[in-house]
Structures are given as structure tokens and as C-alpha cells.
Amino acid sequence: MKTYIPTDIIAKKRDKKQLTAEEIRFLVDSYTDGLLPDYQMASFLMAVYLNGMNDEETAAMTEAMVNSGDILDFSEIEGIKADKHSTGGVGDKTTLVLVPILAAAGVKTVKMSGRGLGFTGGTIDKLQSIKGYRTALTEEEIHRQLRTLNAVMIGATGDIAPADKKIYALRDVTATVESIPLIASSIMSKKIACGADVIVIDIKVGSGAFMKTMAEAEELSRRLIKIGESFGRRVDTVFGSMDDVLGYAVGNLLEVREALETLRGRGPRDLTDLCLEIAQKIIDAADIKADAAEILASGKALEYFGKIVTAQGGDLSSIDDPNRNAPFVREVKAPKSGTIAAVNAAEVGMTAGMLGAGRLRKEDEIDPLAGITAAKKLGDEVKAGEVIAVLYTSNESVLDDAEKRLLAAYDLK
């Protein structure tokens, strides 16, 4: 590969000029290999944040990150391989409902998820609240389970897009996270490296999301679809509201329980509708004749959930175990009567983190029993003294502050 002077590339983007694929690859490879210092990559990222990237540059950025590590190959397994990604949300347990629906429909799904950080919950943390559940499988186990059950739900395996991990960590501390081309290339580099043929991205919009407006969400959607086209992947998007918590539960075991209730046909309407919308898009893109709503209603998705959890060592009875509850519980009551005019979903998520359901640093421990269940949603009328939400924690000392923070997240009019 040709050697470039990093400052020339940075200056070129600073001056709003288009970079070549070779220039982008040089920067990404140099940074991944430790040859480019943080301060130069940070300067480049800020230049991108301020001046953007066109579609060709975004595709080149994606390709450079894909090729920085392992690329998984499931071509020997018959059928379309599908994947889903969410841009982050509070109470977002869609994967736990979606994957069993897809498995029952016959769609092969390799769902690799991460841990939660900040106000968004991680699917791996939720799965690990199921006693015995193994989130790490060998390549042989993954292939065998795909053949027999059509699905696996695991943590990232191998060295997938290491450039993205390193660049994202830098974006996180340099105020460059909310860049649409950087978000698009980050998402798609992982999905493409994981071998998916069909990809549906759930783009969250609202107070609890990176995309605050529908215009931003639509531009991200366009970028994701364009990247997919350049790599020969079928990409579609849905828009999920984050102006309120998704469903009612926030917190790991609490969310698994709500997902299980949804698979039983008794889930919250907003969660059920979103899962069915994503599932049908994937089923249709995979050219499979099946109806997601019928699969859910028939109980087949519930059956597959049980099979997947059991196959990965999980104890299904530990989910509904009445003895597995947080030792400290507090009802949060409305200070006055009115209508819930707004909910700061991000603040609800941060409150759950205070209770032990999330982490602010990667090394923080998660309390699987901690979290929040909402009793009221956006637009609901409440009376003074009526319960808005319930807090759960193993750390009694945080309850007073958590209650204050949660009340501040609700705007009663």
C-alpha cells in the first residue's frame, strides 16, 4: 500500500475535499496497527464530523474497517443468513423476541451482540441474566446450532472489525459519536464482517437516541442502504421511537421476563409491533413465505426461544423464578395529577444504571436483578400519589437519588 503523509489527508478533509479509498484505508490501517497516534486520528474524525463524507467515502471507510479483522463465512450452511442491529435504546429487548420468530420461520440468524454502556442496555447482559446461558460458543457449536435451530444469540466472536472498536473508543471521548457517516460505517462494518446476507437496522429516534430528529434518521437510513448495495447485501431499516421506554421494563432480567411474556402473546403493544415489523422485513427479504404475526400467535417462536436458551446452557426456569428478585423495591409516585407529556428515555436508562442495571465503564459489574418497570407511559393520565414506576436494586443507598432522577425524567402537565 502506498504511504501517505497523515496531515495531508487530514487537511484534505478539513478543506472539504473528497478522499480516495486508498487514503482512507491508509489512515484506518495505520491507526489499527498503532502507527497513527490518537491525536491525528482524533483530528481526522473531527474533520469528518464537521464536513461529512459522501457515499463513496463512507463505503471506503466501511470496507477498511471490515478488512481490519476476521470475516466470518457461513456460506456452507444453506439458506439466507440474516442479522439485525439497533442503534441503541432504553428497554430495547427486541432481539430476544425477534430471533425466535425468525428461527421458527426458517431464517438462519447469527445474532452477535455486545454489552451495555451508558444508558443503552446490552443484549449480552440480558442473556447472561439467564442462569447458565453461554454467550460464547465455538465455531463448530455455532454452525451446528444454525443447522439444527436456525439461530444463535452470542457475544462477538473472533476479531471482528477491530478498527471500529478502536475508532469508536476514540469517538466516544472526542465528541464525534453523532456523525452519520461514522455511525453508518461503524454499524455496517460489523454486520458485513459477520457474514449476513440480509440486514435490518432498527434506527431509534427521539430523546433517548443518537438520532434526535426523523430527518437525521432518514439520512442514516439512506447511508446504510447505500453501503449495503455496495457490498451486495440486502439492507432495510425501520424507525423505532425513543421518546419513551420500549415496553415497560428496563433492566436485564426484567427485560428478559418482558420478552418472554411477549413471546407468550402478552407483551406490550409497542414492543410486539416493532418486533413483528422487523421480523416480517427480514422474512420477506429472505424470500420465505411466512407471516411473523402468525408465528408469534402460534407459540412456535416461544418454543424456539426455549430450545435456543436450553441449547446454550440456559436454565429457563430461572427467568420466572419468583425467588429471583431484587431485595430492595420502591414505588415512585406522581407528585401531582396530570398527563405524562414527555419522557426523557435516556434519563430513565441512566436511572436504571444507578440502580445497578447498567455500566458507565466497561469493567463495571452488572446487577441482573436491578432495573425499573414503568407503570405509566407517554400520554397516560395520572393522579397525585399514583405509581409511575417501580425501582429494583440490591443497593438500598441509591434509592433516594434514583427516585429523584426518575421523577425528573417525567414531564407532567
Is residue 389 scored above 90 in pLDDT?
A: yes
Query: Which among 119, 124, 118, 126 is positioned nearest to 137, based on CA atoms?
Result: 124
Q: Which pLDDT belongs to residue 362?
A: 58
Same domain, 190 and 282: yes
Q: Report the CATH number that the domain containing residue 20 is assigned in CATH.
A: 1.20.970.10
Share of residues in the chain with pLDDT > 70 (%): 96
Cα-to-chain-centroid distance, residue 377: 22
Q: Is the pLDDT of residue 1 over 70?
A: no
In angstroms, the CA 343 to CA 352 distance is: 14
- pLDDT, residue 119, reads 52
Cell of residue 177, nine digits: 459519536
Q: By residue range, what is the domain housing residue 43?
A: 6-52
pLDDT digits (tens, 9 = 90+) for 122-159: 888 899 999 999 999 988 999 999 999 999 999 876 68
Measured in whole angstroms, the distance separating CA 258 from the mean position of its chain's CA atoms is 17
Residue 298's CB is within 10 A of a number of other CB atoms, namely: 13
- C-alpha distances in angstroms, 231 versus 236, 346, 406? 14, 34, 44
In a domain, 293, yes or no: yes
What integer is the mean pLDDT of 177-188? 92
pLDDT score, position 229: 94
Query: Mean of the pLDDT values across residues 397-408?
Result: 97
234-270: pLDDT as tens digits: 999 999 888 899 999 999 999 999 999 999 999 999 9
The grid cell for 237 is 431499516
Strand 410-412 relative to strand 338-343, pairing: antiparallel
Torsion angles phi and psi, residue 333, rounded to 5: -110, 150
Tell me, what's the pLDDT at 115?
65
Residue that finishes a domain, picked among 318, 351, 378: 318
d(CA 330, CA 103): 38
The answer on 334 and 313 residing in a single domain is: no
Q: Is residue 20 part of a domain?
A: yes
Q: What is the mean pLDDT of residues 371-399?
A: 96
Q: Are residues 282 and 343 in the same domain?
A: no
What confidence score (pLDDT) does residue 11 get? 97
| 366 DSSP assignment | P
Q: Is residue 323 part of a domain?
A: no
Q: Is residue 307 part of a domain?
A: yes
Q: How far does Cα 148 stand from its chain's mean position?
A: 26
Residue 332 confidence (pLDDT) above 80: yes
Same domain, 106 and 137: yes
Mean pLDDT score across all residues of the chain: 92
The answer for residues whose C-beta is within 8 angstroms of residue 172's C-beta and 6 or more apart is none
DSSP state of 182: H
**380 and 260 inside one domain:** no
Same domain for 164 and 45, yes or no, is: no
Is 196 part of a structural domain of the chain?
Answer: yes
Identify whether 71 is part of a domain: no
- Decide if pLDDT at 29 tops 90: yes
Q: How confident is the model at residue 79 (pLDDT cuts 50, 70, 90)?
A: confident
Instruction: Please check whether residue 49 is in contact with residue 16, taking contact to mean a CB–CB distance below 8 angstroms.
Output: no
Q: How far apart are CA 301 and CA 309, in angstroms?
A: 12
Domain contains 124: yes
Angstrom distance (rounded) from CA 102 to CA 97: 9
Cα–Cα distance measured from residue 397 to residue 376, given in angstroms and rounded to the nearest whole number: 25
Same domain? For 27 and 147 the reply is no
pLDDT score of 355 more than 80:
yes
Q: What pLDDT, in 10s, does the model give residues 111-123? A: 888 765 555 568 8
Please identify, among 318, 343, 364, the residue that sits at the C-terminal boundary of a domain. 318
397: Cβ contacts below 8 Å, ≥ 6 apart: none
- Do both 113 and 27 map to the same domain? no
Q: What does 63-91 look like in DSSP terms, one character per residue?
A: HHHHTTSB----TTS-S-EEEEEE---TT
Q: What is the pLDDT of residue 234?
A: 92
- Domain end marker among 295, 318, 341: 318
The CATH number that applies at residue 362 is 3.90.1170.30
Same-domain pairing of 305 and 219: yes
Over residues 205-232, the mean pLDDT reads 90
- Average pLDDT for residues 45-64, to the nearest whole number? 97
Fill in the DSSP letter of residue 384.
T
Do 188 and 300 fall into the same domain? yes
Joined together, the cell numbers standing for residue 20 give 480516495
For residue 255, the Cα-to-chain-centroid distance in whole angstroms is 14
Inter-axis angle of helices 269-285 and 252-263, nearest 10: 70
- The reported pLDDT for the residue numbered 198 is 93
122 and 258 assigned to the same domain: yes
In this structure, is residue 385 part of a structural domain? yes
pLDDT at 315: 97
Domain count, the chain: 3
- Residue 374 and residue 393 in one domain: yes
pTM over cut 0.95: no
Q: Which residues are catalytic?
A: 85, 164, 171, 186, 190
